């Protein structure tokens, strides 16, 4: 039961088992969950994000042991955390969610600006940290867009 739970959570309810682009499917799940269930209340949002972030570190490390690999592509809970960091402190809209999705995937795939280096942290910390940093960069760009171009 524990093994199945870890694999189901780490794979983003199974989206990580997609044969093509599992990280993209995990991010798509994160976008849908963001739009449908994440609260607008800043305190509730950050409480959920922090709890999920620490859970992701633990679950990712455990899943990597089960898969006997390093940062297995089936692990997409880190993409969920990263996308939710991307969308933090922004008005909830489909348009911003789409832009956030594209920005996050760009930074997560290309890994510029120290994202690749932070990924080298041990265990679940490295698995999750690169996505958090990709989310921070994406969020900064979205914040600028909202305050300048999208007014």
User: pTM (2 decimals)?
Assistant: 0.95
Instruction: Round the average pLDDT of the chain to a whole number and report it.
Output: 95
Q: How confident is the model at residue 18 (pLDDT cuts 50, 70, 90)?
A: very high
pLDDT at 16 over 90: yes
Cα distance between residue 59 and residue 65, in whole Å: 10
Cα 31 to Cα 65, 87, 118, 119: the distances in Å are: 28, 9, 24, 23
Annotated domain spans of the chain? 2-11+21-147
φ/ψ of residue 83, rounded to 5: -65, -40
pLDDT for res 36: 96
Give residue-wise pLDDT tens across range 45-100: 999 999 999 999 999 999 999 999 888 999 999 999 999 999 999 999 999 999 99
């Amino acid at each position: 039961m524990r093994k199945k739970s870890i694999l189901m959570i780490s794979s983003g309810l199974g989206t990580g088992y997609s044969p093509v682009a599992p990280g993209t499917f995990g991010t798509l799940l994160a976008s849908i969950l963001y739009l449908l269930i994440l609260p607008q209340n800043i305190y509730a949002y950050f409480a959920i994000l922090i709890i999920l972030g620490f859970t992701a570190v633990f679950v990712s490390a455990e899943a990597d042991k089960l898969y006997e690999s390093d940062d297995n592509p089936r692990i997409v809970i880190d993409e969920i955390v990263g996308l939710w960091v991307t969308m933090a402190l922004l008005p909830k809209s489909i348009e911003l969610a789409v832009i956030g999705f594209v920005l996050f995937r760009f930074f997560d795939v290309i890994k510029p600006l120290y994202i690749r280096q932070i990924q080298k942290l041990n265990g679940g910390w490295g698995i999750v940290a690169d996505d958090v940093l990709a989310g921070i960069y994406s969020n900064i760009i979205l914040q600028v867009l909202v305050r300048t171009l999208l007014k």
